[in-house]
A and B are shown apart, each in its own frame.
Chain A
Amino acid sequence: MSKRKAIYASKIKRAVHMLFYRRHAKPGVKGWELRKTLGADYPKVLSILDEYLKPLDLQVKMAFEEEKPHSEKPTPEELDKARFYITLRGDLTPKEAKMIGWRIDDLAGLAITIAYIISKKGKAPRKEVEELLREKLPGWKASLNIDRYIRYGYLSQDENEQLYLDWRTRAEVDQKALIELLLSK
């Protein structure tokens, strides 16, 4: 093995340790942490790792803390602030989703909530979302479920009871695909 290859192999190992094992209260690793441990070429290390993960149906996912940068290609500063995760590349079946602890009602509620907030430009009054959920869920469950989505990091809420999409939605949900899939049903 050439010296260069050996260096990258070792960096990939370190990247796997950092990305798979939770280091903070929230999962994922910040870009600057990866830069500090792996060096300035960490985006390249991650792209090689992503290739390795492909056959395992996993991927390296990057999510920006706030809004996505406007530019097509993120700058090194934007990358430093972004959070990196390992996520599933493909889809789960309803049975598998159940196995990882989600009830069909709660998952449907989450889908409705996220889709509605996207359609409202990323911000919707909690009251409206609760009313929408009450169409399919018992009234008391609608509010409890929203609290749970907030707790898990899918949503956040401000003092005016406006709901926003939070870090976990940005990391886990392909928003464009969700809207398209819902409308094509």
Chain B
Amino acid sequence: MQSKKERVKIGRERLQRIIEMCKAVEERGLDPFLVNVDEIIKVVREFFPDWEQPEDLCLDAEAINRLASVIKLQSEWVKHRSTTLYTDPFLLEEKIKSLDKEAIVEAFLGAWHPIVELEQISLHSLKEALLYWENLPPLKDRWKEFPSPEEAGGVASPEELLRLKILRDKAFTEELENFWNELKREVAEKGENGKIRYWDFIGAETYEETVYRAFLTSFLVTYGYATLEVYPLEDEIFIKPFEKQQRRTAKKQLVSLPIAITREEWEKWKERVKAK
């Protein structure tokens, strides 16, 4: 024969399990019919007379609340199945796997009606812009408003910079030229049309090394040792080395290109390399 204390303990555990199960169905999108509603109500009813503490009554109420959410999901599931939109995911999955890309695109184009939108300057906006320009104070006047930053800190010794890994043992130019030669070698071995994917070049075993390579690459581009080719639609960036260092011409407008070297991007690149 169970003592009252033991019964309360078992009851609490069973209610906790019910709550967890209902929560899992709700949050992970599992089949709501995995939950046997009658069985749960039986359990809740069985232990209800034993609850005396407010915490236990709250637990009981939460179990009922969670169960109600699952019943709502079951009702939505039935509603969805009765609509014309319902398709057995398994059937659809099989169909998708058996179709070639062209057939899938053909089907999609029959149901796709892309948004039409225009971006065009008008006479009115030109007039507004001219007015704005007339009233805009020159840059030198506007910048006066900002006080120049106070110089802070002292002088760092080369040893300290070496310790912080800002400076390396080798002279920077020498390191940059070695890095340029490495780029040329990589392009010759793995590249196509004299260029290589940006990530395939900067990507390294560790994240820290990858960041350092990206840092050096930015100097290769800025100092005219290489150039970047960006394909925004394909989301791809290539790096192309020059045979000789290019001198900057005053006529040519320089463009800054921010490239995020995040840990996630690096992990994705590692996975891609592994998959290859």
Interface: A71 (CB within 8 A): no
Known: A107-B108, A108-B104. A175 touches B85 (CB 8 A): yes
Q: Are A182 and B104 in contact, with the CB atoms below 8 A?
A: yes
A177 to B234, CA, bound (A): 28
Q: Are B113 and A88 in contact, with the CB atoms below 8 A?
A: yes
Which residues of A47-105 are within 8 A (CB) of B? 58-59, 61, 85-94, 97, 100-101, 103-105
Interface: B110 (CB within 8 A): yes
Q: Are B114 and A172 in contact, with the CB atoms below 8 A?
A: yes
Considering only CB atoms, which chain B residue lies closest to A143 in the complex?
B268
Considering only CB atoms, which chain B residue lies closest to A89 in the complex?
B113
Interface: A120 (CB within 8 A): yes
Chain B residues near A8 (CB, 8 Å)?
none
Chain A residues near B268 (CB, 8 Å)?
140, 143-144
Considering only CB atoms, which chain B residue lies closest to A184 in the complex?
B107
Contact of B93 among A28, A104, A132, A139 (CB under 8 A): A132
Known: A108-B101, A140-B268. A92 touches B114 (CB 8 A): yes
Q: Are B116 and A116 in contact, with the CB atoms below 8 A?
A: no
Grouping DSSP codes into helix (H, G, I), strand (E, B) and loop, the B interface class, with mixed when no group exceeds half, is helix
Q: Are A179 and B113 in contact, with the CB atoms below 8 A?
A: no
Residue among A112, A114, A175 with the highest chain B CB neighbour number at 10 A: A112
Q: Are B116 and A177 in contact, with the CB atoms below 8 A?
A: no
Chain B residues near A87 (CB, 8 Å)?
113-116
A92 to B80, CA, bound (A): 30
Q: What is the 8 Å Cβ interface bit string for chain B, positions 93-121, against chain A (1 contact, 0 not)?
A: 10111010111111111111111111110
Considering only CB atoms, which chain B residue lies closest to A151 in the complex?
B235
Interface: A15 (CB within 8 A): no
Q: Are B96 and A172 in contact, with the CB atoms below 8 A?
A: no
Chain A residues near B109 (CB, 8 Å)?
91-94, 97, 107
Q: Are A174 and B101 in contact, with the CB atoms below 8 A?
A: no
Interface: B163 (CB within 8 A): no
Contact of B101 among A20, A90, A105, A181 (CB under 8 A): A105
Chain A residues near B91 (CB, 8 Å)?
183
Which residues of A104-160 are within 8 A (CB) of B? 104-105, 107-108, 110-112, 114-116, 118-121, 123-125, 132, 135-136, 138-140, 143-144, 148, 160
Chain B residues near A177 (CB, 8 Å)?
110-111
Q: Are A162 and B114 in contact, with the CB atoms below 8 A?
A: no
Interface: A36 (CB within 8 A): no
A11 to B179, CA, bound (A): 63
Q: Are B235 and A139 in contact, with the CB atoms below 8 A?
A: no
Interface: A185 (CB within 8 A): yes
Interface: A22 (CB within 8 A): yes
Chain A residues near B89 (CB, 8 Å)?
116, 119-120
Q: Are B114 and A100 in contact, with the CB atoms below 8 A?
A: yes
Chain B residues near A88 (CB, 8 Å)?
113-114, 116
A91 to B234, CA, bound (A): 24
Interface: B84 (CB within 8 A): yes
Q: Are B114 and A174 in contact, with the CB atoms below 8 A?
A: no
Interface: B127 (CB within 8 A): no
Chain A residues near B80 (CB, 8 Å)?
121
Known: A93-B109, A107-B105. A21 touches B117 (CB 8 A): yes
Interface: A171 (CB within 8 A): yes
Known: A85-B115, A174-B111. A136 touches B77 (CB 8 A): no
Nearest CB in chain A: distance from B25 CB, A:
13
5 nearest A-B residue pairs (beta carbon): A140-B272, A111-B108, A178-B111, A181-B107, A177-B111
28 example contacts (A-B, Cβ-Cβ < 8 A) are as follows A20-B117, A21-B118, A27-B117, A28-B115, A61-B115, A88-B116, A91-B112, A93-B109, A94-B109, A104-B101, A108-B101, A110-B108, A111-B105, A119-B93, A120-B29, A135-B96, A140-B275, A143-B271, A160-B27, A172-B115, A173-B111, A173-B113, A178-B107, A178-B110, A178-B112, A182-B96, A182-B107, A183-B91
Sample of 17 more A-B contacts, CB < 8 Å, known A87-B113, A124-B29: A21-B120, A85-B116, A86-B116, A94-B105, A97-B105, A108-B105, A110-B108, A121-B80, A125-B28, A136-B101, A139-B271, A140-B275, A174-B113, A175-B111, A182-B99, A182-B104, A185-B99
